[in-house]
Structure 1
Amino acid sequence: MTMFLLVPGFWIDPSVWDEVAAALRARGHDATAVELGHAPTDTAESHVDDVLAALGTADGPVVLAGHSGAGPVCAAAAERARDRVAHLVFVDTGPLPDGVAQVDFLPPEGQRWVRDAIAAHGSGQPMPTRAEFDELGTSTEGFSDAAFAAVRARSRVEPAGAVLTGARRGTPDPTLPKTVVACSFAPEQVRALIDAGVPGFAEMGGPEWTTVALPTGHWPMVSEPAALAELLASLA
């Protein structure tokens, strides 16, 4: 039996992992979705603390899977609690360099859009509409209108500090296996960015890294939960 800790990305609550967790449990594993804080004062660093708290209660080393905005958070947590992590998985995401915020990784027009949305709200960024995600270039493929509406209805405002600040990185351990699940981008694109030395991708060229394709939209736990569970179980 393997323990999986499943960390949701921006806006979404742990229930988005329900189908994946159920499929992992049906295979005899243990699976728990992690709750990240959504108080106005929360930051990328406080989200790292949330993951560290979950790791501290886990029974032995885990497969730690972070989706989207949780990817860099999980990378930082794994570096601070290396003995608690057996495999690090990035679901349609990757690590970011020390202190680099999610917003900094967007193209200039995307950065302006996000900062304007935070300014309009006051303390954070509400989950964009489907049309806004399309405009931002975030794939919602495989997400039915009803499923998207249900997830967005449960969404929380992402605290400004989680969007506009980065996590403190440690030293990546080359003995820790790391897997990127590429959903809305192709493994070939990752390889090209690694070779180009793009920040956030340059460190992914080591032998401990693998990239596997799961072609779908940015939320595979909704659009392809069975396939994602099967892929995660293969890492156990």
Structure 2
Amino acid sequence: MNIILVPGFWLDASSWSAVTPPLEAAGHRVRPLTLPGLESVDTDRSAIGLRDHIDAVVAEIDASEEPVVLVGHSGGGAIIYGAIDARPDRVVRGVYVDSGPLADGASINDELPASNGEVPLPDWSVFEEADLIDLDDELREQFRARAIPQPQGVAADKQQLSHDDRRLSVPATVIACEFSSEMLRGLMEQGHPYVAELTRLSDVEFVDLPTGHWPQFTKPAELGAVLLAAVDRS
């Protein structure tokens, strides 16, 4: 299987390095991405928007000779969903790591503090306590040292989906970290806007991996095993 890994905000392809070994050992072709504007801290990212990131993933799908599994962490969930919308017949599963599909007209997070067209990694005090579970001082230091400012347009742009509802039939796996699967199902029953698009999917499974918002750092081996199991079900 060809597996494309899309990182969340402030991260590049290397953020998946501790997660990929079990996938590669099982014989899968694994492609972690560094999205446009995340190449270095010095990159000009002022003109990069959400569509640029979606298009980068679509280009990877088109370059594959076989169907793919898309994995998106955090804001990467919105990006892989946009790519699934563009190529619903080429994606056999979307895996959302502490994330989910973003509905048409919604933005990932337009409230993050930005300057000069980019969003630097905020102070830890900006995040909820649930985000930071298991992210100890050493991991926080390593994360901040590797963090690259996020293009503001990616955070603030509105999702623009097509009228092709085939995306709703692509199987989805939601890896529930800071919010448990029980909590997510409860939000779905309440019609909460956070999970509005998730309720529209026809085939959704939940897998609990209790930790904070960055399991690729706090529980990489466990995340790799969960991803492998999801891929094997595809």
Per the TM superposition, whether the score is higher than 0.5 is yes
Give 2:49's aligned residue: 43
Segments of 5+ residues of structure 2 without an aligned counterpart are 38-44
The partner residue of 1:192 within 186, 207, 210 is 186
Tell me the distance in 1 between the aligned counterparts of 2:144 and 2:193: 30
Q: Secondary structure at the match of 2:132?
A: coil
Q: Secondary structure at the match of 1:86?
A: strand
Matched, 1:28 2:27: yes
Q: CA deviation at 1:35?
A: 1.4
Q: CA deviation at 1:138?
A: 5.4
**Higher normalized helix content (fraction of residues):** 1
Q: Which amino acid aligns with 1:139?
A: D
Matched, 1:72 2:69: no
Contact kept? 1:181, 1:213, Cα under 8 Å: yes
Matched, 1:180 2:174: yes
Tell me the distance in 1 between the aligned counterparts of 2:204 and 2:90: 19
Matched, 1:162 2:161: no
Q: Secondary structure at the match of 2:178?
A: coil
Q: Secondary structure at the match of 2:127?
A: helix
Tell me the distance in 2 between the aligned counterparts of 1:172 and 1:164: 26
Tell me the distance in 2 between the aligned counterparts of 1:165 and 1:209: 26
Matched, 1:153 2:145: yes
Contact kept? 1:194, 1:203, Cα under 8 Å: no
Report 1:53-64 matches (<5 A): 53-64=59-70
Give 1:107's aligned residue: none
Bigger shift: 160-169 or 176-185?
160-169
The 1:177/1:159 distance shift into structure 2, 3 A limit, reads same
Q: Secondary structure at the match of 1:82?
A: coil
Tell me the distance in 2 between the aligned counterparts of 1:22 and 1:59: 22
Q: Which amino acid aligns with 1:70?
A: G
Tell me the distance in 2 between the aligned counterparts of 1:133 and 1:197: 25
Q: CA deviation at 1:200?
A: 4.2
Contact kept? 1:97, 1:199, Cα under 8 Å: no
Over the residues paired in the alignment, what is the CA RMSD in angstroms? Answer: 1.7
Q: CA deviation at 1:150?
A: 1.7
TM-score (norm 2): 0.88
Q: CA deviation at 1:129?
A: 2.7
Tell me the distance in 2 between the aligned counterparts of 1:191 and 1:98: 21
Q: Secondary structure at the match of 1:139?
A: helix
Segments of 5+ residues of structure 1 without an aligned counterpart are 105-110
Q: Percent identity?
A: 34
Contact kept? 2:103, 2:196, Cα under 8 Å: no
Q: CA deviation at 1:185?
A: 0.5
TM-score (norm 1): 0.87
Give 1:108's aligned residue: none
Give 1:209's aligned residue: 204
Tell me the distance in 2 between the aligned counterparts of 1:28 and 1:144: 33
Q: CA deviation at 1:53?
A: 1.3
Q: How many residue pairs end up in the alignment?
A: 221
Give 1:143's aligned residue: 135
Give 2:87's aligned residue: 81
Q: Secondary structure at the match of 2:17?
A: helix
The partner residue of 1:233 within 207, 215, 228 is 228
Tell me the distance in 2 between the aligned counterparts of 1:202 and 1:100: 10
Give 2:10's aligned residue: 11
Q: Which amino acid aligns with 1:162?
A: V
Bigger shift: 52-61 or 68-77?
52-61
Contact kept? 2:169, 2:202, Cα under 8 Å: no
Q: Deviations over 1:28-82 (max 9, x none)?
A: 2221101111211111111101111111222311110000011111101111111
Bigger shift: 184-193 or 21-30?
21-30
